[in-house]
Amino acid sequence: MKIEFENNIIEVNVQYGKRKKIALQVDSFGIISVKAPKGTSEEIIINAVQQHGKLILEKLQTIEKARKVPQPREYEDEGQFLHLGKEYSLHELIDIGDLNEEELKIKLKKFYFSSCKKIINERITQYQTDLRVKPKSIDIVESRTKWGSCSSDKKLTFNYRLAMAPIEVIDYVIIHELCHLHHMNHDRSFWRRVGSIMPDYKEKEEYLARHGRDMTF
């Protein structure tokens, strides 16, 4: 459902169930969920979202800022860059040779793409078995707003910057997207499925919300 608020369009996933009150949630991916009692009218849902519109937009802005570059990096031998949740000097990740800054950026980006592809392909095998699903394809992409995605035709994509995150956080994004092969929305069944494989998934969401801004170069 798309709802207008102060010249902004807020897109929400509405989930109806046995409950007494409406609840709103914005996860670390910027997905907005509205849980409502069965039979709740569209007008009531719209009013509820608009009442919290300012807070929702602030949350979305916080998530977006977390994905932006916090400060310029030093592209030299001792410049610090993240890989699997730890900081490494640039020369520990790539051969810097006599390359200039632009050449180093290109080479480092290729390293992250390659690393992410290798890790995703290695880690996803076990979770596919556990969840009894198999995606049609798996691609590593560049994205400013999403850590991962699942299309309606079962194609999964993962942000190459995940190579900077700890393994357990990468696992969470893998599980999250694999679970979308069963449930395309973020309803209660979806989160139960995620929790069945990773009970502490909320901690991983929180990590991405807090440290996403550092996962760049």
User: pLDDT value at position 75?
Assistant: 72
User: pLDDT value at position 206?
Assistant: 86
User: pLDDT value at position 78?
Assistant: 65
User: pLDDT value at position 193?
Assistant: 94
Q: Among 171, 136, 170, 130, which Cα is nearest to 150's?
A: 136
Is the pLDDT reported for residue 130 higher than 80?
yes
Long-range contacts of 59-63 (CB under 8 A, 24+ apart): 59/26, 60/26, 60/30, 62/209, 63/26, 63/28, 63/29, 63/30, 63/209, 63/212
Residues 99-108: what's their mean pLDDT?
90
| Mean pLDDT lowest among 51-55, 143-147, 167-171, 193-197 | 143-147
Residues 7-36: what's their mean pLDDT?
85
User: pLDDT value at position 17?
Assistant: 86
Is the pLDDT reported for residue 69 higher than 90?
no
Spatial separation of the C-alpha atoms in residues 51 and 35, rounded to whole Å = 15
Residues 96-118: what's their mean pLDDT?
92
Q: What is the pLDDT of residues 145-168, one digit of tens each?
A: 889 999 989 999 999 999 999 999
Q: What is the pLDDT of residues 139-149, one digit of tens each?
A: 999 988 889 99
